[in-house]
Chains A and B, each alone.
Chain A
Amino acid sequence: MRKLFPLLILALILTQAYAQPAIPRHVNPDQLKPAAPDPVILTGVYGDLSSAFLAENFSSIASLASVLLNLSAPSDLKFILDRFHSLIQEEGILMNYSKTGLEVAKQLAIQGRVSDALSYIENVTMNLAKANITYMSLADAARTVKGRTGADTGSLLQSILKLIVTYTHRLNETSTLLGVNLTDTQLTLSITPTSAWVGSKVLAYGYLKNHQGDPLPNRTIVLMMDGRKTAETTTNEQGYYSLSLQVPYIYVEHINLFAMYLPLGGDVYKYKPAISPNATLYLLYVTPNITLSIQPDLVLPGDTIQLRASIDRPVSTLDAYLFGQHFKLQVQNSSATLALSVPTDAPEGKYIVIVSSPANQTIAPTSTSATLTVRKLSINITQLQIPMFLSPLTSTLNTCITFEREPTPYTLEVSIPSAEAQASITSTTTCTQVEIKPGLLTPTGTIQGTITVQPHDPRYKPASAKLQAYNINLLFLIFALTLVTSSIYVYLKVDTRKRGPQAEREEEKPTPIVVHEPSPRVEAEENSPVHIEINDPVAKEYFRAVKIVETATGIKMKPLKTISEYLSETRSRLGKAGDIFREISGLAEAKLYGDIPVDVDKLATLVSELEKILEEKKP
C-alpha cells in the first residue's frame, strides 16, 4: 500500500489537471497587452472594401470604414491604421459626392439648365481632384500598413483607382452634353370633365410642339396621376394626343395629373424634355355615417355586451374589431347587431371598439369607434390578526376577506423574506388560517412581509396587504439563558473554592470521641457505635492520625462515622497524604473490625509520615 501511495497521489494530480476547464471563465483585462490585428482578417476586410468600391456601394464603404476605425491594436500601430482607415473613409465620401454630382449634372444638362449643370460639374471636378490626391496618400500609407501588419491592400487601391478613372470619363461625357444647343418644346394637358365620379371615365388631351410652334408627331407622351405613371400615348401628325382615363377608386377630394415628354434616341441631342402644367380632377363619391352603441359600456369579464351599428348608406356588411378579434356583421335594414361575451381573462382597462364599412364603388370606406370599460371586482383584506412569531415554531395567521360580490375560491399567499418563510393555502371561506414557520435563524425583532390573495374567479382582481410582525427567536433565547446560567454557576463554583473548607463546616458542635476507661470489651454490633479501648496501640496510633487529619482538613470525626466514611470524607483534602491515611485506616479497620494482627511499628511510621507531609503542606 505504501508503494502505491505515490502513484495514487500522481493519479489524483493528473485527474485534477485534466479536469481543469480548457477555457478560462475570464482574464484580467488590465494585465493584457493589445495584440496586432490578424493580417488574414484585415486583408479580407480590405477585399470587402474593394468590392464595395467597384459596386459603388458607398453605404457599405462607410460602415466598414467606421468599423475599422474602432479596431484594437498596440498604440503605435493603431495610429498608422487609424490614419489609413480615415483616408479610406474620406475617399469613399469624395467618390460618393462625385457620383451624385455627375448624375445631377447630366439631368440638368438634358433639361437645358446649363449654368446649374456647370456648377455641379465644377464641384465634381474638384472632388475628383481631391480623390486623386487622397489616393496618393493612401498608396503611401498602404505600404506602411503592409510592412507593419502584413495585410494586403493591393486590390483595394486598384478598385479606387478604377473608380476614379470611371468617374472622370463620365465627367467628360456630361461636359460634352452641355456643349450641344437643345431646342425648347411645349406640352399641354387638359381634362374633361374636371369633376367625375370615382370609377367613371374622363378624357385627357393636349399637344406637343417645338418653340417655333411646329408639331412634333409620333412622340411618346407619358401621363402621370398623383406622381404615378398612369398611361402612355403617342402624338399624331399634328402633334396632338388624347386618351380616355378611368378615374381610380381613390376617395380623396382631388387628384393632379400632368403629361411628360422625354426625348428618346436622336431627340436627346435635339430637343429638351417637357412637362405640362398640372391639371386637377375633382373626385366625386359618397361617405356614409356609422352610428355605434355598446350596452353596457362598463362590464366585468365574462359579461355579455350588445353592440349595435347603424349606417345611412346601402352596404351589405360591416367590420367590427374588439378584444383583438375581427367580426363580420351582416347589415339588415341599415343596421347590424353583435352580442358577445367579454373574455374572462381580459385585463382591467378601457378598450376601443371599431366598426368600419369597406369601400364599395362610389361609397367611400368609413369607420367609427366607441369605448368599452372592463373592470374587475375587488377584494379587500379586512381583518388581519398577526401573531407574535416564535421562531422556529409554527405560528398561525388569521385573515378575513370581503368580496365585492359573491365569495369565490382563492389562494392566499404569505411571504416573509427576512424570515425565509412562505406559505400558501387555497380556501373558499371568507376567513382562513395559514400556518407559517419562520426560519431557524430568523432574528428577533420586527419582520415584514406581504399577504397576497389570488382569486380563482377571473372577474376578481388580486389584492395584497403588508404584514408586519414581531419575532422572538426561541433558540437564541434558550442559548442566552444557558449562557447566563452557566456563568452564574461558574461564579458560584469559583467563589466556593475561594472560601475553602469553611464553606462546608457544619454549625453543630464537634462531637468528641468518647474515650472509655478500660472496661470489659463490648462486642461491636452492626450499626452500633464502636467503643475503642485507649490501651490498644493500633487504636492509639489511629486516633493520633485522626487528630492530625482533623487539624489539616477541619473535618471532625463524628461518633457515628465509620473509619471508611471518615476516610472518604477527608481523602480529597489530603492530597498525597490521602494514600497514607488510607493505609492507616485500612490497618485500623483490620485490627478493630477483623481482629487481624497489625504491625504497630509500621502503623506508627505511617502516622509520623502523615504528620510530616501535612506539616509541609501548611502555608
Chain B
Amino acid sequence: MRKSLLAIPLIASALVIVALATLYPVNTDFNTANPDWNGLTDFAQKTKAVEGSLATLANLYDPQNYTIFIIGPSKNFSQQEVAAVKSFLARGGVVVLMDDFGTTNQLLMLLGVNARFSGKLLLDPLLNIGHPALPVSYWGGKRIALNYATTLNLTDQQGARVIATSSPFSYLDLNLNNHYDKGEPTGPFPVAVELSYGSGRLILVSDSSLLINSMLNREQNLQFALYLAGGRTPAIDNSHWEENLHAEAKRFLLSLWLIASSPEVKYSLAVSLAIIAWAFGKTHFKRG
C-alpha cells in the first residue's frame, strides 16, 4: 500500500516535467524552435529552412537546392565535418558562415582559407540602431543592422569580394570601454565577404546575430538573409550550438515522439493498452 502511495506522486511529477519540457519553448540562442528575441523561428519559417547536423546536411542535401548556414558555432569542427563541407563546396554548393566570437576560425583554418574573424568588438557611435554595439553597415546602397559584431581580417586572403562594410565612423573597441581611444582601428571594415572555393562559394559574415528574431526585421536584414540564401532553401547546422538541459530534453522527447509516431509502435501501443485495460477492467468489475 505504501509503495503504491509513493508511486502516484512520482508518476504525477514525471508527467508534469514531461509536459513542461514539451510545451515550454526553448530559449537557447539560435534555436529554430525558440520564438523569443534570440531564436531563429522567424527566419526558419519565412524561408522554410531545414536543419540538421552539419555532416548530414553537407553529405546528403543537393547543393543546387540548399545553402548551408553555420550560425554562431560554439563547438569545434571535426575532420569528418570539414571533409563534408569541402565535398559540398566541390559540388558547387554555397556555405554561409555567420559568426563573431565563436569557433569558425578553426573551420576556416581546416578549410585552408586565410581570412579570419578578428574577434574584436565593432562599435559605431553614430550610425547604429540604438546602441554603438548595434552598428549599421552598408550592403551596396542598402543598410543592415548588426548586433555585437566583429570584423573580417582579409590581410592574407586574395580574391575576396567584399559584400558589406561598416561605416567610416566605426571602430574596434580593443579595450572594451565603449569609447573610442586613440590608436583603436577605425572603419570602414569588411563585415561580409564572398570567396570562391573550388566550384562553390564561401560567404563569411562577421555577425552571428543578424538573423535572430529581434534583428531580422531591422533595416534590410531580411533582404540580406534572402540574398545570402541565393534563392535556395537554407539548411541550418544545429550541431554546433551549446544547448541547455531543457533543449536537450525537448530534443530527446521529440525523438521519442517520432518513434512513437511510426505505425508499428503507435498501433501496437494502442492494442497493448486496450488489452491491459480490458484485463484490469474485468478484474475490477468482477470484484465489485
Whether the Cβ atoms of B259 and A491 lie closer than 8 Å is: no
Whether the Cβ atoms of B265 and A479 lie closer than 8 Å is: yes
Given contacts A26-B215, A495-B279, 18 further A-B contacts (CB under 8 A): A23-B101, A25-B101, A25-B148, A27-B133, A28-B38, A34-B131, A70-B136, A72-B128, A72-B129, A415-B60, A417-B56, A417-B60, A443-B262, A473-B264, A476-B264, A479-B268, A483-B268, A491-B279
Whether the Cβ atoms of B214 and A29 lie closer than 8 Å is: yes
Question: Hey, what's the 0/1 contact readout for B248-288 against A, CB within 8 Å counting as 1?
Answer: 00000001001101111101110111011011101100100
Whether the Cβ atoms of A29 and B262 lie closer than 8 Å is: no
Which residues of chain B come closer than 8 Å to A32, judged between CB atoms?
A: 130-131, 134
Which residues of chain A come closer than 8 Å to B282, judged between CB atoms?
A: 494-495, 498
Known: A32-B134, A37-B125, A72-B127. A484 touches B148 (CB 8 A): no
Closest A residue, CB atoms, query B207: A26
B179 beta carbon closer than 8 Å to chain A? yes
Please give the distance in Å from A336's CB to the nearest CB on chain B: 36
Please give the distance in Å from B93's CB to the nearest CB on chain A: 13
Q: Say which residue of B29, B37, B176 sits within 8 Å of A30 (CB atoms).
A: B37
Which residues of chain B come closer than 8 Å to A29, judged between CB atoms?
A: 129-131, 134, 147, 214-215, 218
Whether the Cβ atoms of B126 and A42 lie closer than 8 Å is: yes
Whether the Cβ atoms of B214 and A480 lie closer than 8 Å is: no
B208 beta carbon closer than 8 Å to chain A? yes
Closest A residue, CB atoms, query B260: A476
A38 beta carbon closer than 8 Å to chain B? yes
Known: A25-B208, A30-B37. A35 touches B132 (CB 8 A): yes
B239 beta carbon closer than 8 Å to chain A? no
Please give the distance in Å from B30's CB to the nearest CB on chain A: 9
| Residue total for A at the interface (Cβ-Cβ under 8 A) | 51
A29 vs B207: C-alpha distance in the bound complex, in angstroms? 15
Question: Hey, what's the 0/1 contact readout for B205-225 against A, CB within 8 Å counting as 1?
Answer: 000110010110010000000
Closest B residue, CB atoms, query A71: B126
A23 vs B267: C-alpha distance in the bound complex, in angstroms? 52
Q: Say which residue of B214, B255, B265, B283 sits within 8 Å of A28 (CB atoms).
A: B214
B137 beta carbon closer than 8 Å to chain A? no
* 10 nearest A-B pairs in the assembled complex, by CB-CB distance: A480-B268, A26-B209, A487-B272, A38-B125, A491-B279, A480-B264, A487-B275, A417-B60, A26-B147, A71-B126
Highest count of chain A CB atoms <10 Å: which of B72, B271, B286: B271
Whether the Cβ atoms of B265 and A476 lie closer than 8 Å is: yes
Known: A417-B60, A450-B62. A487 touches B276 (CB 8 A): yes
Which residues of chain B come closer than 8 Å to A477, judged between CB atoms?
A: 264
Whether the Cβ atoms of B258 and A441 lie closer than 8 Å is: yes
Closest B residue, CB atoms, query A486: B272
Closest B residue, CB atoms, query A420: B56
Whether the Cβ atoms of B180 and A23 lie closer than 8 Å is: no
B59 beta carbon closer than 8 Å to chain A? yes
A444 beta carbon closer than 8 Å to chain B? yes
A488 beta carbon closer than 8 Å to chain B? yes
Closest B residue, CB atoms, query A416: B60
Whether the Cβ atoms of A40 and B268 lie closer than 8 Å is: no
Please give the distance in Å from B99's CB to the nearest CB on chain A: 10
A618 beta carbon closer than 8 Å to chain B? no
Which residues of chain B come closer than 8 Å to A384, judged between CB atoms?
A: none
Question: Hey, what's the 0/1 contact readout for B75-115 against A, CB within 8 Å counting as 1?
Answer: 00000000000000000000000001100000000000000
A163 beta carbon closer than 8 Å to chain B? no
A45 vs B167: C-alpha distance in the bound complex, in angstroms? 12
A515 beta carbon closer than 8 Å to chain B? no
Which residues of chain B come closer than 8 Å to A264, judged between CB atoms?
A: none
B61 beta carbon closer than 8 Å to chain A? yes
A480 vs B38: C-alpha distance in the bound complex, in angstroms? 41
A7 beta carbon closer than 8 Å to chain B? no
A/B interface sample: 13 pairs, CB < 8 A:
A23-B101, A26-B147, A26-B208, A38-B180, A45-B126, A67-B126, A71-B127, A443-B258, A473-B262, A480-B268, A484-B271, A487-B276, A495-B279
Question: Hey, what's the 0/1 contact readout for A434-470 against B, CB within 8 Å counting as 1?
Answer: 0000000101110000100000000000000000000
B169 beta carbon closer than 8 Å to chain A? yes
B121 beta carbon closer than 8 Å to chain A? yes
Highest count of chain A CB atoms <10 Å: which of B62, B264, B286: B264
A34 vs B209: C-alpha distance in the bound complex, in angstroms? 19
Which residues of chain A come closer than 8 Å to B129, judged between CB atoms?
A: 29, 72
Which residues of chain B come closer than 8 Å to A484, judged between CB atoms?
A: 268, 271-272, 275
Whether the Cβ atoms of B271 and A487 lie closer than 8 Å is: yes
A491 vs B279: C-alpha distance in the bound complex, in angstroms? 5
Please give the distance in Å from B174's CB to the nearest CB on chain A: 12
